[in-house]
Structure 1
Amino acid sequence: MDNFVWQYVTLQGVRLREWQYGSYLHRLVGLLYAWRQSSWLMQHADFIGLGLVSLVFGLAPFVSSSLIGVLLGAIALFWLLLTLSDSPGWEGSQEAGGLKPFFTPIHLLVLLYWAIATVATALSPVKAAAFTGWIKLTLYLLLFALVSRVLRSPRLRNWLIVLYLHVALIVSVYGIRQRIFGAAQLATWSDPTSVAGRTIRVYSYLGNPNLLAGYLLPAILLSLAAIFVWRGWFPKLLAATMLVCNTLCMIFTDSRGGWIGVAVALIGFSSLLIYWWQPRMSPFWRTWSFPIALGAVVGLILMAVLFVEPVRNRVSTMFMGRRDSSNNFRMNVWAAVIDMIRDRPILGIGPGNTAFNRIYPLFQRPRYTALSAYSIFLEVLVETGIVGFTAFLWLLLVTFTQGGIQLQRLRNQTNRDGYWLIAALAILLGMLGHGAVDTVWYRPEVNTLWWLTVGLVASYYVAQERTRSWELAPVE
C-alpha cells in the first residue's frame, strides 16, 4: 500500500495519454498539422530548435540579459509553432519497447507551478511588477519545454552538451587568467577586515564571482561525465582538461555557496556512479564502495580546507556568524524576507525580482538593501507562498524520482548516456545546495542552465506501453 501511494505521489501512476486526450489545452495541438506536412522547413524542426537553444547557451556569458531575453522570446514562439503543428495523437519516438513522449510527469509539475505563479501574479499587491516576473518565468519554462523535446535525440543531446562545455572552457580560462594577472574587484565581495578580504576573486565574463560559480557548477559535473562518455584518448584528455580548468576557476571565484554546491554535487555524482557500477562489482565492493567513495570525497574536501590557505581562509568565514559582514548581511535579509512571507503566506507577492524590489523596502532592516532573498527556497516562498513552494518541492521530487527510474533503465541497457543523466541529477543537487545561500538562479546565465538540466532529465523519460495497472497505459 505504501509503495502504491508513493507511485501516485511521484506520478508514476498518472495516465498521461488519457489526461492529454481529456485536456482542453491539448485540443489545440494539431491545428497547423496540415501546414507542417507541406512545409520543408518544419521537417527539420528539431534542428531549428537546437539552433535557437544553442544560441542561448553559446552567447549567454558574453552578451546582455536583454539579448538573452530576445532569444528566449524566439524560442517561446518557435515552441508554440511546433506544438500547434504537432500530430494531435499520442506523439513520441519509440525506444526499447516504450514511447518517448513530448509530455512527461515533469512537464505536468512544471505546468502546475506555472499555473500557481499565474494566480500569484493576478493576486499580487504589485501586479505590474509581478507581471514582468511572470513573463520571465514563462520564457524560462518554455525553454525547458523545447530543450526537453530536442534532447530526446542522443545526437542533439551530445551536441548541446559539447557546445556548453566548450563555452564554459573559454569562460574558465579567462577566469584563470584574471587570477594570474589580476582583475579589478568591481564590488566589495568579501569582508575587507577578514583574512580573505584581499584575495582576488575572479568573475571572467560574467561580472560577479558568485554568478560565475553558479555558471561553472554544471560544467564541472558534465566534464566529469564526459570522461566516461567520450570515446578515445584525445576526447577523454579534452574532458579532463575541461574538468581541471573548470574546477580551478571555481576555486578562484572564492564563492562559498559555489563550493557548497560542488561538494553536494560530487557526493551525489559519486553515489550515483557507484549505483551505476554495482552490478559489475564483487560482493566486497558492493558493501564498501559507497563508504569508501564518500570518505574519499570528504577527505579531498578536508585536505583542500586544511592545506590550501585561500580555501581555508574563505571556509573559516562560514563559521564566523555575524562577525563576517557577508554573513551578517544575509542574516538581516533573511529576517526581512521571513517577515514578508508571514505577511502573505499563501500565494506570496508574485514572481520575479521586480516585485521583490517593490515590497522588500517595506520590511528591510536599515542599511540592508537587497535585490533578492539570497536563498532560492525563501525566494520561492516569498514569490508564490506555501502553495507554490509545495508545488516546487513536488516538482523536485518527481524530477529526481523519474531520473532514478530512467537511470535504472539505462543501467540495465548498459547505455553510456546514463553518465549524462548521473551528471544532470548531481547538478540539480549542487545547484540546490548553492541556491540555499544565494539567488544567482535569477540571472539568465544560471537560470537557463537550471532548466537545461531539468530538461535533460525529462528528455530520458520513456513510458512503457504494456505495464502494470499503476503505470502508463494506452487508451483502449
Structure 2
Amino acid sequence: MAVAFFLPLSLDITSVFLAIGGFMWLVKMVITRRLDTKATVFDGMILFFVIWSGFSIQSSPDPGYSSYNYFQLMSRYVLLYYLVVNHIHSPEQLKRVLKLMVLSSCLVSLYGFYQYFHGLDISKLDWVDDSQFPELKTRVFSTLHNPNLLAGFLVIMAAVTTGIVCGLKRARDKFFLSVIVSMLGLCLVFTYSRGAWISILVVIIIYSVFYSRKLFWLLLIIPLLMLCGQHTAWERVLSIFNPTDTSSSLRMALWESTLAMIHDKPLLGVGWGAYWLAYPDYDFYIHDPATTIFHAHNMYLAVAAETGIPGLLAFMGILYGHMAAAFKMAVQGRSKWLSGIMLGMVAAMASIVIGGLTDYILFNIQMSMLFWLINGLIVAAWRIHHSSFATPYKF
C-alpha cells in the first residue's frame, strides 16, 4: 500500500517499500515452506513478454547496459504485479489502495498548482517551441519531472477517481471526490500537454457511453477549463492541426526513423532500453550528437523497436487482456461499487492506448509501475468478483 501512495511522489521511496514487500513475501514462503503464489490467466502472456524482452538484449548495441536496465526494471514490474495479485483479497484492501492512490494524486496536483502560480519558468528546458508559443513560459510537471508525464498520470488518476465516484452511494462522498477530479483536470490544463487533452476527451466519452449520457455535458466544461489557462491553452489546442509545429515535425521524423529500426530488426528489435543507443544510426532530422532521443514518442513503435514485433504483440495482449477483464466486470459487476471502479480502470487503460499514439509515458519507470499496478488491481478485483480467477474465461 505504501508503494501505491509513494509511486508518483518518489521513485526511491517506492523502490524501498517494493523491496521490503518482496522480501517479506519471500520470508513468508520460507517460513511456511509453501510457494505462496496464485496463477492467473495472464501468466503465459506475461512470461512470454518477459522472456522475449530478455532475448532482445542480444540485439542491443550495448548488451551490458540493456541487461542491467532489463533486470532492474522488469523485476520491479513483475514483482509489483504479483505482490498486488497475491495480497489483495478483499474489497476493503482494494478500497484502501485506491484511497492512497487518490490521496497521492491530490498531493501531486497541489504541487503542480504551486509551480504554476509561482511562475516556474520552463523556457530553458526545450519543452515548448518559443517561435510557436512565445507567451507560454510555464508548464507544470510536479513530482514527475516532465509535463507530459504529469499529464498522463493526471488523466489516468482522473479516470480512476471518476470510476470511484460512479460506484459511490452517498452524495457527500460523490461531491468530495468530484472536487478532486476537477482539481486533477485543472492541473492537467496547466501541463499544456495536447496529447493528454485528447486522452481526457476519450475518458469523458467512455463514461458518457457506459455510465450516463448526461456526462456528455462535461465536454462543455473543457472550454471553461481552457480559459483558466489563458489564451495560450487555445493556441496549444489549435497547434494540433498545425503541420509546421516543430513538436509535430519532430514526432513524424522520429516515427519514420523508428519504422526503419523495426524494418531492420523485426524479431528482436534493437534491444531492451536501447532505443537511444540505436537512434543515431537512423537520425536524418536532428543531426546533433549532444541531443539524446530516448524513445519514439509513440508507445507502439517504441515497444516494437526495442523488443521486436513479437514483443509488441505480447505487450498488447497484456494490455488488451486486462482492459477486457475490467470491461467485463464493469458491465457485469455484482456491485455498483466494483462496476464503477472497473469502468475507471477501463478508462485509464484507454487513456494509455490513445496517449500512446503520440507519446510513450510508459518509458518512465513510475508510469510503467503505475501501469502494472493497475493491471494487478484488475486481477485482484477479478478474484474478489469471482470465486476462482484461475478458471479461464472468455473476453
Give the structure-1-normalised TM-score. Answer: 0.72
* Partner AA of 2:307 in structure 1: T
Contact 1:105 1:398 in 2 (8 A): no
Map 1:270-281 → 2, pairs under 5 A: 270-274=208-212
Q: 1:86 to 1:148 in 2, by over 3 A?
A: farther
SS of aligned partner of 2:211: helix
**Cα distance, 1:377 vs structure 2:** 0.7
Q: 1:242 to 1:104 in 2, by over 3 A?
A: same
SS of aligned partner of 1:114: helix
Map 1:218-229 → 2, pairs under 5 A: 218-229=156-167
Return the alpha-carbon distance in structure 2 between the equivalents of residues 132 and 112 of structure 1: 19
Q: Greater CA deviation, 249-258 or 137-146?
A: 137-146
**Cα distance, 1:153 vs structure 2:** 1.8
Q: 2:63 aligns with which of 118, 123, 127?
A: 127
Partner of 2:237: 315
Q: 1:390 aligns with which of 313, 318, 328?
A: 313
**Cα distance, 1:84 vs structure 2:** 6.5
* Partner AA of 1:240 in structure 2: S
**Cα distance, 1:262 vs structure 2:** 1.4
Tell whether 2:253 aligns with 1:332. Answer: yes
* Partner AA of 1:60 in structure 2: L
Partner of 2:54: 118
SS of aligned partner of 2:142: coil
Return the alpha-carbon distance in structure 1 between the equivalents of residues 293 and 349 of structure 2: 25
SS of aligned partner of 2:149: helix
Once the two structures are superposed, residues 107-152 of structure 1 have per-residue CA deviations (whole angstroms, 9 ceiling, x without a partner) of: 3322221121122224544321221231102311221111223333
**Cα distance, 1:61 vs structure 2:** 3.5
Partner of 1:435: 356
Return the alpha-carbon distance in structure 2 between the equivalents of residues 177 and 116 of structure 1: 43
Contact 2:323 2:345 in 1 (8 A): no
**Cα distance, 1:296 vs structure 2:** 4.0
Partner of 1:141: 78
Contact 1:116 1:388 in 2 (8 A): yes
Contact 1:126 1:349 in 2 (8 A): no
Q: 2:300 aligns with which of 377, 380, 383?
A: 377
Return the alpha-carbon distance in structure 2 between the equivalents of residues 88 and 148 of structure 1: 17
Tell whether 2:340 aligns with 1:422. Answer: no
Once the two structures are superposed, residues 333-381 of structure 1 have per-residue CA deviations (whole angstroms, 9 ceiling, x without a partner) of: 22222221112111112222xx222222222231364111211111110
* Partner AA of 1:310 in structure 2: T
**Cα distance, 1:80 vs structure 2:** 4.6
Partner of 1:169: 106
**Cα distance, 1:268 vs structure 2:** 2.2
**Cα distance, 1:69 vs structure 2:** 3.8
RMSD: 3.0
Return the alpha-carbon distance in structure 1 between the equivalents of residues 357 and 174 of structure 2: 33
Q: 1:80 to 1:117 in 2, by over 3 A?
A: farther
Return the alpha-carbon distance in structure 1 between the equivalents of residues 92 and 176 of structure 2: 19
**Cα distance, 1:302 vs structure 2:** 6.8
Q: 1:426 to 1:470 in 2, by over 3 A?
A: closer
**Cα distance, 1:393 vs structure 2:** 2.0
* Partner AA of 2:320 in structure 1: L
**Cα distance, 1:213 vs structure 2:** 0.8
Return the alpha-carbon distance in structure 2 between the equivalents of residues 459 and 67 of structure 1: 24
Partner of 1:257: 195
Contact 2:167 2:337 in 1 (8 A): yes
Q: 1:105 aligns with which of 37, 41, 66?
A: 41
Contact 1:75 1:142 in 2 (8 A): no
Return the alpha-carbon distance in structure 2 between the equivalents of residues 311 and 175 of structure 1: 16
Q: 1:228 to 1:400 in 2, by over 3 A?
A: closer
Q: Which runs of 5+ in 1 are unaligned?
A: 1-49, 92-100, 275-288
Q: 1:83 to 1:319 in 2, by over 3 A?
A: farther
Partner of 2:118: 181
Partner of 2:275: 356
Contact 1:196 1:310 in 2 (8 A): no
Q: 1:470 to 1:347 in 2, by over 3 A?
A: same
SS of aligned partner of 2:270: coil
* Partner AA of 1:132 in structure 2: Y
Once the two structures are superposed, residues 361-420 of structure 1 have per-residue CA deviations (whole angstroms, 9 ceiling, x without a partner) of: 22223136411121111111011101111112222332233223333441xx23422211
SS of aligned partner of 2:268: coil
Q: Greater CA deviation, 396-405 or 325-334?
A: 396-405
Q: 1:171 to 1:196 in 2, by over 3 A?
A: farther
Return the alpha-carbon distance in structure 1 between the equivalents of residues 39 and 205 of structure 2: 31
**Cα distance, 1:250 vs structure 2:** 0.5
Map 1:78-93 → 2, pairs under 5 A: 78-81=24-27
Partner of 1:210: 148
Give the structure-2-normalised TM-score. Answer: 0.86
Partner of 1:151: 88
Contact 2:297 2:358 in 1 (8 A): yes
Contact 1:350 1:383 in 2 (8 A): yes
**Cα distance, 1:192 vs structure 2:** 0.5
Q: Which has the larger radius of gyration?
A: 1
Identity %: 24
* Partner AA of 2:281 in structure 1: L
Contact 2:329 2:338 in 1 (8 A): no
